[in-house]
């Protein structure tokens, strides 16, 4: 099993969620985050004063999937989150040792 985390632009969240639902991914976690990568923030103007925004708002999406679905999930996230512009985000893949559904006690892939 793997945990896939993707940091994406806010306005792409619905598109990514809908695409994942179409391939059978039913659950996910979403967290609003701030950060920067190669783009290093940007300049904005507020009431005539220019200031630097060093941390850009993004969304972190997390899904736990069976090994057999990893490549499909990665492809769907890449295709649906991509704008072609700098700052589209990153995807991280982690090994999951175990998953336990609290309500039923199911373990492993059955708990997904």
Q: What confidence category does residue 42 fall into, taking pLDDT thresholds of 50, 70 and 90?
A: low
Q: What pTM was computed for the model?
A: 0.85
Cα separation, 48 vs 64, in Å, equals 46
Residues 55 and 36: their CA atoms lie apart, in Å, by 5
pLDDT digits (tens, 9 = 90+) for 43-101: 667 777 777 777 888 999 999 999 999 999 999 999 999 999 888 999 999 999 999 99
Which band of pLDDT confidence, cut at 50, 70 and 90, is reported for residue 33? very high
What's residue 48's pLDDT? 78
2-111 topology per CATH:
Alpha-Beta Plaits (3.30.70)
**Residue 88: φ, ψ to 5°:** -65, -25
**Would you list the domain boundaries of the chain?**
2-111
Instruction: Provide the pLDDT confidence category of residue 37 given band limits of 50, 70 and 90.
Output: confident
Count other Cβ atoms within 10 Å, centred on residue 103. Answer: 7
Q: What is the pLDDT of residue 77?
A: 98
């Amino acid at each position: 099993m793997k945990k896939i985390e993707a940091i994406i632009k806010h306005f792409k969240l619905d598109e990514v969620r809908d695409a994942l639902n179409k391939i059978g991914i039913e659950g996910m976690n979403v967290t609003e985050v701030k950060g920067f990568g190669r783009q290093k923030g940007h300049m904005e103007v507020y009431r005539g004063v220019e200031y630097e925004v060093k941390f850009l708002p993004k969304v972190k999406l997390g899904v736990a999937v069976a090994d057999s679905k990893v490549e499909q999930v990665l492809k769907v996230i890449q295709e649906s989150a991509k704008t072609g512009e700098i700052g589209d985000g990153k995807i991280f893949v982690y090994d999951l040792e175990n998953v336990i559904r609290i309500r039923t006690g199911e373990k492993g892939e059955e708990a997904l």
